[in-house]
Amino acid sequence: MSLRNRTGLFGGTFNPIHCGHLRVAEEALNQFGLERVVFLPTGTPPHRKVDEGVSGELRFQMVKLATEGHPKFVVSRHELDKAGPCYTVDTIEAMKGLHAHGVAYIVGADVFSRIEIWHDWPRLLASAPFIVAPRPGVDLTVFAKPPFDRAEIHILDMPLVPVSSAEIRRRYHMGLSVEGMVPGVVDRFVREMGLYGVVRTGSRS
C-alpha cells in the first residue's frame, strides 16, 4: 500500500528532541511521499515517568524550536493536553479523523520491538501502517515475524542513528559537548532554562 500524501505521526517524550529525530522525520517524509509529519510530544507516558521530570510544556517548546521553519513539520498538543496517560492507539484513531489522506505512525525499531507492552497492542497493530526507523541492537527481521505479521510495516532505508536522548542527557550532566547531536536552538534553550543539570544561563520571557 502506498503511503503517499498520508500524514506521518511521530510520537515520543522528546526529552530532548535531537538531530536523530529530525533525520528520521525527514527520511520518512521523503522516502514515502508523506504530506507532512506531525510531532506529538506526550505529556504523561503510560509505561514510565519522564526522566529528569522535564515538563511536557518544556519538551513541547523544544520540539517547536527544532522544527520551526520546516514547511512540512507540525507540532501538535494533542497528547500534551490530554489528562492522564496517552495511548498511541487512541491518538492514531483521533488523528485519522483529522487527515483525509490517512496517517502512518513513525517509530524507532527499539521501542516498536517491545510492542507487547503497549496498550491494546493487537488493535494498535491494525490501526495504521508503521514506518520503522532502524536502531542499534535491533534485528529488523523481527518485524517479519509474529505478531508483526498482522501489521503493515515499512522500514526506513537509512543508516543507524546512534544518538539517543538518554545519551544527550548524560552528556549535559557530565558537562560534555552535544554539538551535532541537538539543534543549536534546542541547546540554547536547555542552557537558558537550566535543564538536565546544566547551570542556567538566562531566562526566556
What confidence score (pLDDT) does residue 49 get? 60
What confidence score (pLDDT) does residue 48 get? 54
What's the count of helices (H) and strands (E) in the chain, helices before strands? 7, 6
Q: What is the pLDDT of residues 48-84, one digit of tens each?
A: 566 667 999 999 999 999 999 999 999 999 999 988 7
Q: Where are the beta strands (DSSP E) in the chain?
A: 7-12, 36-41, 73-75, 103-108, 130-133, 153-155
Cross-sheet strand order for the sheet of 36-41: 73-75, 36-41, 7-12, 103-108, 130-133, 153-155
Q: What is the pLDDT of residues 32-53, one digit of tens each?
A: 999 999 999 998 765 556 666 7
What confidence score (pLDDT) does residue 47 get? 57
pTM of this prediction? 0.93
Phi and psi angles of residue 133, each rounded to the nearest 5 degrees, phi first: -95, 130
What confidence score (pLDDT) does residue 86 get? 87
Residue showing cell 518485524: 143
What confidence score (pLDDT) does residue 26 get? 98
Which stretches of 33-108 are DSSP H helices? 56-67, 88-96
Q: With a cut of 50, which residues of the chain have pLDDT below it?
A: 205
Average pLDDT, the chain: 93
Count of alpha carbons within 13 Å of 171, Cβ hemisphere only? 18
- The Cα 65–Cα 107 span in angstroms is 21
Residue showing cell 522525520: 25
- The Cα 65–Cα 84 span in angstroms is 26
Domains of the chain (ranges, CATH numbers): 7-162 (3.40.50.620)
